Amino acid sequence: MIKAILVFNNHGKPRLTKFYYHYPEDMQQQIVRETFQLVSKRDDNVCNFLEGGSLIGGSDYKLIYRHYATLYFVFCVDSSESELGILDLIQVFVETLDKCFENVCELDLIFHVDKVHYILNELVMGGMVLETNMTEIISRIEDQNKLEKQEAGLSAAPARAVSAVKNINIPQQIKDIKLPDLPHIGSFKF
């Protein structure tokens, strides 16, 4: 069973936190910090498995992590999960994100946290692996997005008008163009 899924950057800022076991909020933050400390110390050429920190359950739980560019994807699992299997799962998750966001980068995760959550909910449910087929997941996500857009159809007209007005803001557009090109997580190899 997966106990928690954490995504944070090289400085420890959380980009996605999903706990499948109840922890109070401050404990959740502490766990993120502790996990960051454990994982950031690891050299790049050591194995991807760690024993869990004391806050998350100690040696009964393992931290399986992958480091992509500026982000750490950490899955905290118990002993019933296969370590190598979870490594593959992380790979599938990131590949799905890549397909959904087109060359996903950290900024995408920052600004679309809810969408990342929806994708994750298709992959893992209640701590158990639900679906591993990328095409399947992506098609479902797209269906649901279409549904949302349909609903937003008429009632979103005012909102759309306002956003159109706002988007006339030229300085803002210039700022948008000038956004720095962050390295994308497109090219993953083993």
Residue 55 interacts with another protein (CB under 8 A)? no
Q: Contacting another protein (CB under 8 A), which of 38, 55, 69, 113?
A: 113
Residue 87 interacts with another protein (CB under 8 A)? yes
In whole angstroms, how close is the CB of 103 to another protein at the nearest point? 18
Residue 129 interacts with another protein (CB under 8 A)? yes
Residue 152 interacts with another protein (CB under 8 A)? yes
The span of 52-60, 69-77, 137-145, 180-188 binding another protein (CB under 8 A) equals 137-145
Residues 6+ apart with CB under 8 A from 79: 60, 61, 62
Q: Contacting another protein (CB under 8 A), which of 159, 173, 182, 183?
A: 159
Residue 60 interacts with another protein (CB under 8 A)? no
Residue 85 interacts with another protein (CB under 8 A)? yes
Quickly count: other Cβ atoms within 10 Å of residue 76's Cβ: 26
Please report, as ranges, the residues that interact with another protein according to CB under 8 A. 14, 16-18, 20, 22, 25-26, 28-29, 43, 45-50, 82-85, 87-89, 91-92, 110-111, 113-114, 117-118, 121, 125-133, 135-136, 140, 143-144, 147-148, 151-152, 155, 158-159, 161-163, 165-166, 169, 190
